Amino acid sequence: MSPLDPRTTAAAGTTVNPVTEAGRMAPKDYDAVLLASFGGPEGQEDVIPFLRNVTRGRGIPDERLEEVSHHYRANGGISPINQQNRELKAALEAELAARGIVLPVLWGNRNWAPYIPQTLQEAYDAGHRKLLMITTSAYSCYSSCRQYREDIGMALTETGLDGRLEVDKVRQYFDHPGFVEPFIEGTAAGLAEVRAQLAAAGSPDAPMHILFATHSIPTRDAEAAGRSEAEPRDFEEGSAYVAQHLATGAAVMSRVEAESGQTAPWSLVYQSRSGAPHVPWLEPDINDAIEELAGTGVKGIVIVPLGFVSDHMEVVWDLDTEALETCSKLGLAAIRVPTPGTHRTFVSGLVDLISERTLSNNISDRPAMTKLGPWYDVCQPGCCANFRGEKPTIAGADTTVGTGHDAYPAATAGLAGGAGIQ
Ligand SMILES: CC1=C(CCC(=O)O)c2cc3nc(cc4[nH]c(cc5[nH]c(cc1n2)c(C)c5CCC(=O)O)c(CCC(=O)O)c4C)C(CCC(=O)O)=C3C
Ligand SMILES: [Fe+2]
């Protein structure tokens, strides 16, 4: 099937939870939540140092960095991501307080202040010993999961806190209802809005198409995503990263159709490719897809930023500036649906994800809207590896830092027996 052939909604999984012991960590009495994110520049003078942090040792061509620096420069050198994380942190604190859960929320970034090692040191100095990390990325791949696990592993090593501070992470939440519901709401509203635009232009029945957009990654990273050296699983298109997006897209579509009576053909497309031209990354690019669809007579596009948690630079530039411009250049009606951001349902879902790690270890308490989930608390050996050499990691069955591994026997016993890994 060509990547742009419309997907059907029939494959949508409903709330099916394969009951699996594997990869689950026993509940713990965490004493703080760590909100871990990407980080972004907060002024023109931060732009280049930030980009150097992001791309260190990554082989990103200078021309690409130059180009990306303009996206930030055009916005005063400021990425929206830090402000959004401040708002998410405040919203999480409010929701925890409303539920009577006494857990402070600490914030640390991979690429800009407050940096993760500094946050860990401050947490330890303030008396915290067991942190539960939530990252602002929902899917499985090196950039969105393992790199966070490594950054914590390295920070614990570098600060000398290894063995004194435990850091675990909540499962990847791509198919958690808290993450998916805002997209269902947004897609239904987006379809109605584009239909109204088309009607106002005199063609109420013109064909529309939904594009679920996510970050492109190298195909090699895509193949390694969610893999286990011990228990290989077969993922659609050979990648857990791709399969998770396809399954979540299908889940969104079946709910949109059931609840709003609207539908349209849909596809998964990619954006923000970087890297050297000879290195293959996931395709098609969203702009190429829009051109191709226009050529087939599509008149309206709904862009759903399914791969992203907040309206940061990759969304406001690559989608709102570039992709919507491509649509308008081709005379297409179009809209970009909001990300979960600080949507009540998303914030409440994140607190549910925290609660399932502190209160209960019952798999039936773990909602998942696709057949791929609920995803693991503890990643399997080799999961999302990126072939750049071994680094210390947390929250893995092969982990040797962070002291979390003293709670692994239950999880790894499941793994060794292969229980429930499909
Ligand atoms: C999967 C994925 C997500 C989604 C998951 C998640 O949300 O974490 C994501 C998010 C983000 N990516 C971001 C920014 C950048 N990503 C870059 C580069 C790269 N991203 C990659 C992947 C991803 N990236 C990859 C494989 C590279 C190549 C270099 C490498 O192998 O690491 C570069 C370097 C320049 C360029 O090449 O574009 C920048 C500036 C920002 C911040 C936006 C803001 O400032 O508001 C966010 C949230
Ligand atoms: Fe990125």
Spatial neighbors of 198 by CB under 8 A, at least 6 apart, are 204, 206, 208, 299, 300, 333
Mutate to test the pocket of ligand 1, among 314, 321, 339 (most ligand atoms within 8 A of CB): 314
Point out the ligand nearest to the CA of residue 221: 1
CA of 305 to the centre of ligand 2 (A): 14
Taking the CA of residue 221 as reference, the ligand 1 atom at the shortest distance is 26
Using a 6 Å cutoff on CB, does residue 274 contact ligand 1? yes
Task: Supply 131's token pair.
Answer: 């942190």
Using a 6 Å cutoff on CB, does residue 13 contact ligand 1? no
Point out the ligand nearest to the CA of residue 49: 1
CA of 354 to the centre of ligand 2 (A): 26
Q: pLDDT tens digits for the chain (422 residues)? A: 455 665 543 333 332 233 345 688 888 999 999 999 999 999 999 999 999 999 888 878 888 888 999 999 999 999 999 999 999 999 999 999 999 999 999 999 999 999 999 999 999 999 999 999 999 999 999 999 999 999 999 999 999 999 999 999 999 999 999 999 999 999 999 999 999 999 999 999 999 999 999 999 999 999 999 987 777 788 999 999 999 999 999 999 999 999 999 999 999 999 999 888 899 999 999 999 999 999 999 999 999 999 999 999 999 999 999 999 999 999 999 999 999 999 999 999 999 999 999 987 677 789 999 999 999 998 888 889 887 778 889 988 777 675 444 433 333 333 332 222 22
Spatial neighbors of 319 by CB under 8 A, at least 6 apart, are 213, 271, 286, 303, 305, 336
Mutate to test the pocket of ligand 1, among 42, 51, 54 (most ligand atoms within 8 A of CB): 54
User: What is the model's pTM?
Assistant: 0.91
Task: Determine which residue's CA is closest to atom 6 belonging to ligand 1.
Answer: 137
Q: What pLDDT, on a 0 to 100 scale, did the predictor assign at position 4?
A: 64
Task: Supply 35's token pair.
Answer: 């909100």
CA distance 250 to 349: 20
CA distance 26 to 4: 42
What is the maximum span of the chain, computed from C-alpha positions, in angstroms? 67
Q: What pLDDT, on a 0 to 100 scale, did the predictor assign at position 106?
A: 98
Using a 6 Å cutoff on CB, does residue 245 contact ligand 1? no
Is residue 342 a contact partner of residue 91, using CB atoms and an 8 Å limit? Answer: yes
Is residue 278 a contact partner of residue 219, using CB atoms and an 8 Å limit? Answer: no
Q: Delineate the domains of the chain, giving CATH numbers in brackets.
A: 32-173+343-417 (3.40.50.1400), 177-336 (3.40.50.1400)
CA of 216 to the centre of ligand 2 (A): 9
Using a 6 Å cutoff on CB, does residue 217 contact ligand 1? yes
Q: What pLDDT, on a 0 to 100 scale, did the predictor assign at position 382?
A: 85
CA quadruple 209, 215, 216, 219: dihedral sign: negative
Q: What pLDDT, on a 0 to 100 scale, did the predictor assign at position 242?
A: 98
Q: Tell whether ipTM is more than 0.85.
A: yes
Spatial neighbors of 46 by CB under 8 A, at least 6 apart, are 77, 112
Using a 6 Å cutoff on CB, does residue 80 contact ligand 1? yes
Using a 6 Å cutoff on CB, does residue 53 contact ligand 1? no
Is residue 251 a contact partner of residue 372, using CB atoms and an 8 Å limit? Answer: no
CA distance 352 to 341: 16
Using a 6 Å cutoff on CB, does residue 11 contact ligand 1? no
Q: What pLDDT, on a 0 to 100 scale, did the predictor assign at position 277?
A: 87
